[in-house]
Each structure stands twice: as structure tokens, then as C-alpha cells.
Amino acid sequence: MMRIFAAFWLLLPCALGWGGWWIAVNSEELMGVSTAKFLETFAASARTPIFSGFLTMGSFLLAMKTNILARLKESYDTETHRLEFLRRNSFKPRAEWERFYAPLERLSSVLGWNVIACLATSLLQMTMGFWLHPIGFGACVGLAGACLALLTYLTFELMRSHRAWFDTINAKAIDGIDDIPRNGAS
């Protein structure tokens, strides 16, 4: 499974880059604009926002990584998670058990790769983005598209981790309520 995942993230920028190159080369037939004019328009109007957007996103994720993981760790330090962990691994030999904090480790890895991808996309916009050639355009578009896909994956990982966190804080809140008054009676 991990090999398929790695192959996907390696092939995605290549496929998107090839698509960007193809669009740049065939811009005259597709949009009625010469390749040179298409690349100049990209350089003038899209390169700077892409650079600043991915630089901001990478910096934000880097700054928030530790805070996100520390906050979500609370949901894994509970008796409920320990029992769920034991239930999932009860039929396996102990040597084959998954790690107790495996979901947090996976989230940490995804956050780290997102930071690298965002900063690399930003850097590529300010280096190869100045090269007004279909190959440069394809590389910039390919890495930006792959980075957006990786950010989408991060969003789903965060949603899954937040679900566990919300379950934990909801259980704590309900445990604090002994008896709920019914029909206005105290």
C-alpha cells in the first residue's frame, strides 16, 4: 500500500507537469493565444500569487505543526484509545502490533511533507518560473497541482484526527454531568 501511495505522489507532478507543458505548447489551438503570450501572461499574473500563497501555507503549517500534534495527542492518551488499540491488535502477535501513536506519526509525516512541498513549490515559482518556456511552466504547474493534492490529503487526515479528539472531549464533557434535570425540575 505504501509503495502505491509513494508512486502516486511521484507520478502526479509528472502527469500535471506534462499537462501544463501540453497546454502551453498548444495554447494557440486551445485559446487562440501564442505560446509566448500565454507564458508571459502566466508570469505577469499568476507566478507571484502562487509564490506568496505557497510560501504562506508552508510557513503556517511549519509554525502550527507542533501545536496541532500536541493538541491531538490528548485524544490518544485516554483509556478509550488504549482499549481500542488493544481490540485492534488482540489477534496479532505483539511483534506485529501497530505503534500506539501511529495515527499521530502519520499526521506528523503528512504535515512535514506538506511543508516541504509548499516551500518547494514557492521556490520553483521564483526560479524556474522566470524561464518563459513550456517546460518551466509545466514544472511549476505540476508541482503546484501535486502540492494542492497533498494539501487535500492533509485535510482528510486532520479531519480523521479531529474526529478522535472531539470524541475524547465530548466524553469528558458528558462524564462531568451527573444528572440532567427534566422538564424544568431541579
pLDDT one-digit tens code per residue, 142-179: 888 888 888 888 888 888 888 877 877 787 777 767 66
- Residue 119's pLDDT is what? 92
pLDDT at position 170 is 81
pLDDT in tens, 120-143: 999 988 887 778 888 888 888 888
Mean pLDDT of 58-63: 90
Q: Produce one character per residue of 54-66: b if its CB has 16 or more CB atoms within 10 Å, e if not.
A: bbebbeebbeebe
Q: Higher model confidence: residue 57 or residue 186?
A: 57
How confident is the model over 7-57, as pLDDT tens digits?
A: 676 677 777 777 777 777 777 777 787 888 888 888 888 888 888 999 999
pLDDT band at 5 (very low <50, low <70, confident <90, very high): low
